[in-house]
C-alpha cells in the first residue's frame, strides 16, 4: 500500500472563484494545510468534460438525485420529480452551463489524508449550511432554495474529490500522468537562502 503522504486529491477552482478574485486565497488555504501542489492548469472545460467528470462514478446520478429529492422534502417542498435520474439530468445541465462559463483552475494536491482534509477545509456542498471557517462557509452566500428558484447550479467556488477512489478517477480525467510532477519541498530556509536551489528535483 502507498504511504499516506502520497495520497492525492483533485481540486477545481470553479469559474466563480476566478471571477471573485479568490485564486490566491483559495490556493493558500490548501497550501497552508501542508499539502503539496503537484499539478495545476487553467482551462475552459467543454460540456463533455464536465458531464464525464460528474458521471465517472456510475452511481452519481442515482445518489445525487435521491439526495436532492430528500433535500426538497426536508425543506417541506415537493420535489420537481420523484425520479432521481430526471432530477440529476437537470442538475447536470445546470452544472455544464456553470462549469463552462469561464476558465477554471484544476489542481492535484498531495499529502497525508489529502482527500479528507481538503473536503474539511472546503466545507459542505451548500454554502448556506457550510460551517464558518470553511471556504464555502466563509466566501459565498448561495443556497439550494435560491439556485433551484433560479434554475441554476449552486455557486460554491470549489470542486474537491469526495473519496480516494473518486480522486483517482478524477485526476486521470483532468491530467495526463506526465502533468503530475514528483518533487520534494526542501526546508523553507534552504528555499529562501540556498544559492543554487540544488536537490528540488533530486
Q: Which residues are identified as catalytic?
A: 159
All three cell numbers of 121, joined, read: 477545509
With CB under 6 A as the contact rule, the residue among 50, 105, 154, 171 that binds ligand GDP is 154
Cα–Cα distances (Å) from 74 to 70, 71, 78, 88, 126, in that order, read: 6, 5, 10, 18, 14
With CB under 6 A as the contact rule, the residue among 50, 107, 159, 175 that binds ligand GDP is 159
By CB under 5 A, residue 124 contacts Mg ion: no
Question: CA-to-CA distance for 34 and 162, rounded, in angstroms?
Answer: 19
Cα–Cα distances (Å) from 124 to 3, 133, 138, in that order, read: 27, 11, 11
All three cell numbers of 62, joined, read: 442515482
In angstroms, give the least distance from the CB of 110 to ligand GDP.
19
In the chain, beta strands by DSSP E: 8-13, 36-43, 104-110, 158-160
Nearer to ligand GDP, 146 or 197 (CB): 146
In angstroms, give the least distance from the CB of 159 to Mg ion.
7
Nearer to Mg ion, 22 or 64 (CB): 64
- Residue in 103, 115, 101, 105 with CA at minimum distance from that of residue 158: 105
Considering only residues 4-63, where is the footprint of ligand GDP by CB under 6 A?
A: none
Question: CA-to-CA distance for 64 and 53, rounded, in angstroms?
Answer: 14
| Lookup result for grid cell 467556488 | 157
For residues 76 and 121, the answer to whether their CB atoms sit within 8 Å is: no
Considering only residues 161-200, where is the footprint of ligand GDP by CB under 6 A?
A: 162
By CB under 6 A, residue 153 contacts ligand GDP: yes
With CB under 5 A as the contact rule, the residue among 100, 162, 164, 179 that binds Mg ion is 162
Site string for ligand GDP, 99-138 (x = CB under 6 A): --------------------------x-------------
Tell me which residues touch Mg ion (CB under 5 A).
162
Tell me which residues touch ligand GDP (CB under 6 A).
64, 67-68, 71, 91, 95, 125, 144, 147-148, 153-154, 156, 159, 162
Amino acid at each position: 500500500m502507498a504511504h499516506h503522504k502520497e495520497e492525492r486529491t483533485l481540486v477545481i477552482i470553479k469559474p466563480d472563484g476566478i471571477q471573485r478574485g479568490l485564486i490566491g486565497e483559495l490556493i493558500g488555504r490548501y497550501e497552508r494545510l501542508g499539502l503539496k501542489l503537484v499539478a495545476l492548469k487553467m482551462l475552459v472545460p467543454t460540456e463533455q468534460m464536465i458531464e464525464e467528470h460528474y458521471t465517472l462514478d456510475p452511481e452519481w446520478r442515482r445518489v445525487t438525485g435521491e439526495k436532492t429529492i430528500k433535500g426538497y422534502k426536508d425543506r417541506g417542498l415537493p420535489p420537481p420529480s420523484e425520479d432521481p435520474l430526471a432530477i440529476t439530468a437537470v442538475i447536470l445541465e445546470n452544472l455544464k452551463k456553470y462549469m463552462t462559463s469561464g476558465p477554471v483552475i484544476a489542481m492535484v494536491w498531495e499529502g497525508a489524508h489529502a482527500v479528507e482534509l481538503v473536503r474539511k477545509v472546503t466545507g459542505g456542498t451548500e454554502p448556506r449550511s457550510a460551517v464558518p471557517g470553511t471556504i464555502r462557509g466563509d466566501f459565498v452566500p448561495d443556497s439550494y432554495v435560491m439556485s433551484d428558484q433560479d434554475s441554476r447550479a449552486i455557486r460554491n467556488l470549489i470542486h474537491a474529490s469526495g473519496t480516494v477512489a473518486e480522486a483517482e478517477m478524477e485526476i486521470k480525467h483532468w491530467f495526463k500522468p506526465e502533468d503530475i510532477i514528483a518533487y520534494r519541498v526542501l526546508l523553507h530556509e534552504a528555499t529562501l537562502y540556498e544559492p543554487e536551489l540544488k536537490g528540488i528535483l533530486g
